[in-house]
Structure 1
């Protein structure tokens, strides 16, 4: 295997780091890696005839080696930053309506990884593994897109999954925005009207039937717009009949706004269940 051709970018940085460990202590790596390194030389060490030193006392080979080491550390820093954003990005999300600063995390800063904006603009977007690197001109743009995903108001929790395939799939879904499509103003207004209907009905029930079990939808308002979309997709897919095993929470709101049951009938049955059953 030609390590110089097989590994590049952050992977090459990892190989060089492993090679340095091998040079200091060959037993610190496994037997297969030790055998590979025994017959391999990094490209910057393969010059047979050393060049004369430069004005600062360094030969070109030494200068190149130092530059390669710096580049490797920079690439590794970028990889670690991407991992930190995916793991701790939610701590930097602005979710307080009063505008207080989120707690954040030190590992989310560029300086914590020896990076700055200018350095990231010189790095390829591929150091940020995943679909976001495809549409970015450089690493800085890829990191901006990554923060929009993981430092926004929607959280993604997949690190606890034991199957790597599931983690990779969910990460890809989150970063491609597959289930977070762009919406226009008309769609947002429709959603606002729907949520206003839900909240208005909820407040009316609270005033009219104070102290009674009213199957509140409080905290679950989005269930009604979600059911709207599910039922619309089912209809477009040719489904004719749907049976809902409805939970107590939000039952009256779903009856009124999803199943289009008249308010008067709901109120009559809710106020006097026996009378409501007779009228049915």
Structure 2
């Protein structure tokens, strides 16, 4: 019993699919060019007279002529290579700059680099692309389009450098199953702007009033505070009772002020040396140990579905 190429390729995609197809091409020209085990596999895999289903505008498959088999095989290899290029280098075409600068891009992300056209992709099955994307689409054109949306949109997935195959496979599957896609809930843009203004105003105040004092500004990481707002709100809804943040120097003062609710007056007193004795009792309640201000921590009981303890160290 023989198996058509797309069906047999269901277990191979990316560089594996390309490699298998190149071996098959070599086997067709000279069966002795591959090892005995591979030759035995391809003898069972040899396609019947109409081996490659051709999709017409995403519709039902028709049979390709026998003479076209070699051409279709070459294009199938090219599709597998294109899919792998997007998985490896798609992040180079992702639009990550909010100011809209052009991403660096990579030649291997384009059809002409692989000798392909839109018509070629529409004529080949999505199974050549593989992964979750290949399972939920019909044609290679649709599958490649989805891959571009995943890898070259507004998230730059780059996991090819990871050495553990299971980790790479998990991240690829998670990305292509859209586990990390943006939340579809509408964003309260006015509330977000107000929060970011609060964060930025605090930094500007410290800069203008204490220009000679050492601090580690949150500027450039302003979204950390709204992000923590969301994470902590969700934590409170899922029954978490304690959150401990091992906070870096950068942004610590802003997080203490706006997430831990440490009063501004306490933070500003720490910019004056020495801290007057009248404030010592209150400062000790907020985690003050006499260390520099950007080493200080704090604790807070945060309201949620249940009250839970939030600590920064």
Same structural fold, with TM-score higher than 0.5 when normalized by the shorter chain? yes
Cα distance change of structure 1 residues 259 and 26 upon mapping to structure 2, 3 Å threshold = same
Matches within 5 A, 1:166-245: 166-245=167-246
Task: Please say if 1:277 is aligned against 2:280.
Answer: yes
Moved more, 13-22 or 67-76: 13-22
Distance 2:28 2:78 in 1: 23
Please report the RMSD computed on the Cα atoms of aligned residues, expressed in angstroms.
3.2
Distance 1:10 1:66 in 2: 26
Distance 1:31 1:135 in 2: 35
Cα distance change of structure 1 residues 129 and 242 upon mapping to structure 2, 3 Å threshold = same
SS at match of 1:274: coil
Q: TM-score, normalised by structure 1?
A: 0.78
Distance 1:38 1:144 in 2: 34
Distance 2:210 2:203 in 1: 11
Cα distance change of structure 1 residues 165 and 123 upon mapping to structure 2, 3 Å threshold = same
How many pairs are equivalent?
264
In structure 1, the partner of 2:265 is 264
Between structures 1 and 2, the one with greater helix share: 1
Cα distance change of structure 1 residues 263 and 165 upon mapping to structure 2, 3 Å threshold = same
In structure 1, the partner of 2:48 is 43
SS at match of 1:220: coil
CA contact (8 A) 2:133 2:147 kept: yes
In structure 1, the partner of 2:56 is none
Cα distance change of structure 1 residues 213 and 106 upon mapping to structure 2, 3 Å threshold = same
Cα distance change of structure 1 residues 236 and 254 upon mapping to structure 2, 3 Å threshold = same
Higher relative contact order (CA 8 A, sep 6+): 2
Unaligned runs of 5+ in 2: 51-63, 284-313
Matches within 5 A, 1:1-280: 2-4=2-4, 7-8=8-9, 17-37=22-42, 41-44=46-49, 64-96=65-97, 99-272=100-273, 274-275=275-276, 276-277=279-280, 279-280=282-283
Cα distance change of structure 1 residues 250 and 178 upon mapping to structure 2, 3 Å threshold = same
Moved more, 236-245 or 151-160: 236-245
Q: Once the 2 structures are TM-superposed, how far is the Cα of residue 161 of structure 1 from its aligned partner?
A: 1.6
Cα distance change of structure 1 residues 16 and 102 upon mapping to structure 2, 3 Å threshold = closer
Distance 2:27 2:171 in 1: 36
Distance 1:2 1:125 in 2: 20
Between structures 1 and 2, the one with greater strand share: 2
Unaligned runs of 5+ in 1: 46-62
Q: Once the 2 structures are TM-superposed, how far is the Cα of residue 81 of structure 1 from its aligned partner?
A: 1.0
SS at match of 1:186: coil
CA contact (8 A) 2:210 2:271 kept: no
Q: TM-score, normalised by structure 2?
A: 0.71
SS at match of 2:65: helix
Q: Once the 2 structures are TM-superposed, how far is the Cα of residue 98 of structure 1 from its aligned partner?
A: 5.6
